[in-house]
Amino acid sequence: MKMEQTRYQDARGPRGRIERIAYQATNVKGETFEKHANVYLPAGYDGAPEQRYNIFYLMHGGGGNEDAWLDSCPVKNVLDRLNIEGRLEPTIVVFPTYYTEGNTPENADFRIAGREEIRVFQAELMQNLVPAVESRYRTWARSVDAAGLRASRMHRGFGGFSMGGGNTWMTFTHNLASFGWFMPLSGDCWELETMGGRTKSAETAALLGQTAIDGGFGPRDYFIYALTGSEDIAVGNLTPQIEAMKALPEQFQATDDFATGNLRYEVADGFPHAYEHVVTYVERALPTFFRA
């Protein structure tokens, strides 16, 4: 489909800000260390003490860190404009990172690669990152225990680019009880194996569907907006997986409007595997979240 690439534009109005938070995480040796995430707070956050905010976690691709989105594309500009134009529900956006050994050059030899790195992050997400963020900021979680996160799950989303897209699918398979909205960008599900969206598309789709069934969730309890580009290296992995998911309509109802289904998929003509193009997907998809 035709899609205009997002470019930097003046955000004429009140702008949000980026805060950097620290939290404790545990590495594979059982050692604790300090990690960081960036948090986007919309303009007016401080002046609206009664307002509760949706929250969206946006993960970078392989080799990046918590600054990757902010350094590589005008994502903050996009968020500011969406808020100024009234197109986005009140939403906090968190930019986390991987690497349970710490994302620093001296620790590079200890990084868990690819698929296993994503798997390790899933435990850290729920045990460390989400509690650290949502005990500090005014989200819809009244508590950060399992009950509080489940009760607020339709106000919480996860998305990511490339390897972060793989992380998004694994957030679905591991933590669907705490998340209701998913935005995999140019990345397939690696739960069964790396690039499993292509090599094991039917099995991957079945696993995703069974995850929802086992959790007691129906098709109005989770929403997926997947995007990639026709020139993206990920399109050949993601498309077969999506087609296999469409063959399971009791769990995944293909649609171009979340009012009538829960699975949206778009391929942008000519878009490659690059942040400056993928940020367009964020601008397109995020305003549709948290409205069901």
Domain-embedded: residue 229: yes
Domain span including residue 259: 17-288
Q: What is the pLDDT of residues 53-62, one digit of tens each?
A: 999 999 999 8
In this predicted structure, what is the pLDDT of residue 112?
45
Is the pLDDT confidence value at 108 over 90? no
In this predicted structure, what is the pLDDT of residue 111?
38
Give strand ranges (E) for the chain. 17-26, 32-41, 54-59, 91-95, 156-161, 181-185, 223-229, 263-268
Contact 132, 21 (CB under 8 A): yes
Domain-embedded: residue 180: yes
CATH number (domain holding residue 144) = 3.40.50.1820
Residues β-bridged to residue 33: 25
Q: Tokens at residue 62, please?
A: 């392989």
Domain-embedded: residue 57: yes
In this predicted structure, what is the pLDDT of residue 148?
98
Contact 213, 170 (CB under 8 A): no
Report the domain count for the chain.
Answer: 1
Instruction: Give the Å distances, CA to CA, from 77 to 127, 275, 280, 288.
Output: 31, 14, 12, 18
Higher pLDDT, 99 or 161: 161
Q: Rounded distance, CA 37 to CA 67, Å?
A: 8
Q: Rounded distance, CA 163 to CA 112, Å?
A: 13
The residues near 132 (Cβ < 8 Å, ≥ 6 apart) are: 21, 23, 24, 37
In this predicted structure, what is the pLDDT of residue 8?
82
Domain-embedded: residue 2: no
Q: What is the pLDDT of residues 245-257, one digit of tens each?
A: 999 999 999 999 9
